[in-house]
């Protein structure tokens, strides 16, 4: 179930920052038509830090109903409060999500034992497949491979999104983890490398704007067609880099708006893409043939 191109979908918003649910439904249909293998709703790219609890639940419920079983729906339910993470994860289960994505607690910097106890508490409390999410560049907190391996024995902890970008680290985890533990990349630029080493796919930002190519790259990589996977990745690599010229999801929402798929809304403290990067993003889109010339 959890493999291939799993898109960390943006949360469409109107210019005033309110949720644009109709555009979310249309965006989900676009992704499924283009081959996206799974929808990750209310993750970092979905602006999870700035949606409130009711909006969080609305977004998960909308994704589940619109997908209607066509692909897996993975709900972001992590928090830096263990109690809050349990409540969100339980709600995601009730709303029909297929799995949950739990980011490492941010800002409060728990120890490795604290991380273990946090994730174990959520997994003990809610019977739903759970994916750990390690993104130390965002959280200021790094889940060590040893802690991941401790957690991998829990029946409800089925995998990890590794957004460290460290191939040596990913290789170590792939060599030591149980065979049924799913290692997913959370870093588009190194995702192909991790898949060729045994990773099962990527939770992707690039897939928001180039879903068909990301899906096709993952298909090629997972069946060992290295030449095809490399050729597709070459078309995507500028996007892998330039979609992060400012904090995610600022650049990817700008590209999607240019594609006519969403409106320009984004919530403070995120703001619109700086004008100096408009042509940078347009240039990054050219190899993937995403945007027409203005």
Instruction: For residue 116, tell me if it sits in a domain.
Output: yes
Catalytic residue among 93, 133, 242, 253: 133
User: Is residue 261 domain-resident?
Assistant: no
Q: How many domains does the chain have?
A: 1
* Residue 254 within any structural domain of the chain: no
Question: Which residue in the list 91, 93, 116, 161 is annotated as catalytic?
Answer: 161
pLDDT attached to residue 110: 97
Is the whole model's pTM more than 0.85, yes or no? yes
- Is the CB of residue 3 less than 8 Å from the CB of residue 183? no
The reported pLDDT for the residue numbered 1 is 80
* The pLDDT of residue 291: 86
CA distance 215 to 6: 9
pLDDT score of 13? 98
Q: Is residue 262 part of a domain?
A: no
* Domain residue limits at 10: 4-225
Nearest to 178 by CA among 152, 157, 199, 156: 152
Mean pLDDT by 10 residues, the chain (294 residues): 96 97 98 98 97 98 98 97 98 98 96 98 98 95 98 98 95 96 98 97 98 98 98 98 98 98 97 98 96 67
Active site residue 133: yes
In a domain, 13, yes or no: yes
Report the pLDDT value the prediction gives residue 191, as an integer from 0 to 100.
98
Residue 289 confidence (pLDDT): 95
Output the pLDDT for position 293. Answer: 57
pLDDT, position 174:
97
pLDDT of residue 123: 98
Q: Could you write out the three-class secondary structure of 67-136?
A: HCCCCCEEEECCCCCHHHHHHHHHHHHHHCCCEEEEECCCCCCCCHHHHHHHHHHHHHHCCCCEEEEECH
Q: Examine the residue annotation and report whether 93 is marked as an active-site residue of this protein.
A: no
- Asked if the structure places residue 282 within a domain, the reply is no
Q: Is residue 94 part of a domain?
A: yes
Residue 39 maps to a domain: yes
């Amino acid at each position: 179930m959890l493999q291939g191109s799993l898109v960390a979908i943006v949360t469409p918003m109107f210019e005033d920052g309110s949720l644009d649910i109709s555009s979310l439904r249309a965006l989900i249909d676009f992704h499924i038509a283009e081959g996206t293998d799974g929808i990750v709703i209310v993750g970092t790219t979905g602006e999870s830090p700035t949606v409130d609890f009711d909006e969080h639940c609305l977004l998960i419920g909308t994704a589940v109903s619109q997908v209607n079983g066509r692909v897996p729906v993975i709900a972001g339910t992590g928090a830096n409060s263990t109690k809050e993470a349990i409540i969100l994860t339980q709600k995601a289960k009730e709303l029909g999500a297929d799995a949950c994505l739990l980011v490492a607690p941010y800002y409060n910097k728990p120890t490795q034992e604290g991380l273990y106890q946090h994730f174990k508490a959520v997994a003990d409390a809610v019977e739903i497949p759970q994916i750990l999410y390690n993104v130390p560049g965002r959280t200021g907190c790094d889940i060590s491979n040893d802690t991941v391996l401790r957690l991998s024995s829990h029946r409800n902890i089925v995998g990890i999104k590794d957004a460290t970008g460290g191939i040596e680290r990913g290789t170590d985890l792939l060599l030591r983890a149980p065979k049924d533990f799913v290692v997913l990349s959370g870093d588009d630029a190194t995702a192909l490398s991790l898949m060729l080493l045994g990773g099962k796919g990527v939770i992707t930002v690039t897939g928001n704007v180039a879903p068909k190519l990301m899906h096709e790259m993952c298909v090629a990589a997972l069946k060992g067609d290295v030449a095809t996977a490399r050729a597709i990745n070459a078309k995507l690599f500028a996007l892998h880099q330039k979609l992060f010229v400012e904090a995610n999801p600022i650049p990817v929402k700008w590209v999607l708006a240019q594609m006519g798929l969403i409106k320009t809304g984004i919530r403070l403290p995120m703001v619109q893409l700086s004008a100096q990067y408009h042509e940078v993003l347009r240039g990054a889109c050219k190899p993937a043939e995403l945007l027409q010339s203005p």
